[in-house]
Chain A
């Protein structure tokens, strides 16, 4: 139960960092070789070598963060915010090397006057370090990932 609670708290905090736009703190939750992956096709098993909506190591996460923080990132000018709810947390695997946790998310986004909803499943591969959990791989299977996008996704979901 304690482990379940720890992992849940970790996932909630990660989502909160997105909603509060604390990009660097969000990136810091990843292991040095960590990857954030949103497959283009739910059947894909590995992020390497296939089309992906996101397939970002920490360097690419840095590019994305620096871009949205740049004063001339025009698309970042308008009012824009998100609200994540994370639930249904299931510990799929518990071993000394890693914990694999499945969860469900629902994200509402407001941009100017437009509301969009994104929902789906997270699968976190976590490792325990002296500083707490670090993400080796976060897989995001978004239910509406294959639908046409009204505008684009600017940061991680």
Chain B
């Protein structure tokens, strides 16, 4: 209920969000954060990982869903399971590392209870003598590792929901699944595989500040002016000396050469559940030998017409609310793991297009290293702004955060909200995210 009065909250849920502005406590109140974890993150579909992270039986990866430590593991039947990372006996975490192999079964390091990879109890030391005459044993549900209520996989990308009910993954993703289609379709074999490295960077700010920045087309030329200018100067110098600079310089210099007014030419497409697409082609199809060789592998796999369709997909970023930002044309994604009301972990991954030439992998790898590594040339200034935002929102100098830019000019197309022509810097994505937020928070 939107008008619900939640114990511990200063006002009714309905009073925090208006169509074009949001109260500051939404970002700073620990009680709201707790409610968000219950009603959003521990209920909706959350991205766990890619199935290629756990190729063999027993391979696992630890993942946080809301406040719950979970583990994604490959079972003997080939299925990827997502379990609570907890032994049902005394609560010990089953795996203490971020990744590894559990072998043929999980074995608790405390009292050696063992479990199949679907969570079922396998054995307890001296189970007969220890538990005969009690209800406990293999059939008792309290003796197995608890499973995520639902686990689904879309083109290799594994999601879990801790709620029994709700839309299927495909329904939940809706049009935003183009993030994964665009990524996989660009591979001549129709699949991607993980590049086995995760960059992990903590932001000292609320998780929503990061999500709101992802499709904020107004910020790049302001926040990233220094990087854009620096890269542009060096790019010109390389061109002067050798005739051609690597594409990665162009990706960085665009922050300065694409000025604020040009960002208005972009468009955002906003969907139910808070998802959003920012269109904008990233100049990833120069007529160099590497690109032409890649195009040929796609033509061989799919034919000329389909190749043109695949490489013509016009996407800059896809935001899958509440925890995933995907740059499909560059095969990378950032998963958001809220750690607290003012702390947010981002886990940043890169994928390889199966069957594509090495040069194409290296091109997007350069972006992964330069933009998404912990020594990023770009995000340092974003994180500085996020921290300052969070600090400023703690102030009583004002009660509201404004999302009014181009408000009233949005175009409703069925259940989709499009920004009008020349309104690319509209704050429609933030309005859309907060609309979804309010709906999630109101559902008990």
Interface residues of A (CB under 8 A from B): 38, 40-41, 49-55, 59-60, 62-68, 70-75, 77, 147-154
Contact = CB atoms under 8 A, between A and B. Distances in A.
B9 interface: no
Nearest to B349: A51
Contact of B381 (A51, A73, A150): A73
B381 A66 contact: no
Q: How would you classify the secondary structure of chain B's contact residues: helix, strand, loop or mixed? A: helix
Nearest to B223: A74
A85 B444 CA distance: 56
A52 B230 contact: no
Contacts of B196: 41
- Between B201, B358, B379, the greatest number of chain A beta carbons within 10 A of the residue's beta carbon is seen for B201
B383 A151 contact: yes
Interface string B298-340: 0000000000000000000000000000000000000000000
B230 A70 contact: yes
Given A65-B230, A66-B230, 17 more contacts: A51-B369, A52-B373, A53-B199, A60-B234, A60-B370, A63-B230, A63-B252, A66-B229, A67-B226, A67-B230, A73-B381, A75-B384, A148-B202, A149-B200, A151-B380, A152-B201, A152-B379
A115 to B, nearest CB: 14
A152 B383 contact: yes
Interface string B152-167: 0000000000000000
Contacts of A54: 373, 375
A150 B204 contact: yes
A40 B379 CA distance: 18
B204 A151 contact: yes
A15 to B, nearest CB: 17
Given A52-B373, A53-B374, A72 B225 contact: yes
A148 B202 CA distance: 7
6 contacts: A50-B365, A53-B369, A63-B227, A73-B227, A74-B223, A150-B202
Given A49-B362, A154-B380, A74 B369 contact: no
Contacts of A147: 200
B202 A64 contact: no
Given A49-B362, A75-B381, A149-B374, A41 B197 contact: yes
A149 B201 contact: yes
B169 interface: no
B159 to A, nearest CB: 23
Contacts of A41: 196-197
Contacts of B362: 49
- Between B196, B225, B249, B374, the greatest number of chain A beta carbons within 10 A of the residue's beta carbon is seen for B374
A62 B202 CA distance: 27
A49 B363 CA distance: 10
Given A49-B362, A51-B368, A63-B231, A74 B373 contact: no
A51 B384 contact: no
Contacts of B195: 51
A73 B226 contact: yes
B205 to A, nearest CB: 11
Contacts of B230: 62-67, 70
Nearest to A70: B226
Nearest to B241: A59
B52 interface: no
A75 B374 contact: no
A104 to B, nearest CB: 20
| Top 6 A-B residue pairs of the complex, sorted by shortest distance between their CB atoms | A66-B230, A70-B226, A73-B226, A75-B384, A148-B200, A51-B197
Given A49-B362, A149-B374, A151-B383, A55 B369 contact: yes
A53 B371 CA distance: 10
Nearest to B379: A152
B234 A62 contact: yes
A156 to B, nearest CB: 8
A64 B233 CA distance: 12
B39 interface: no
A152 B380 CA distance: 6
B376 interface: yes
Contacts of B370: 60
A40 B200 CA distance: 11
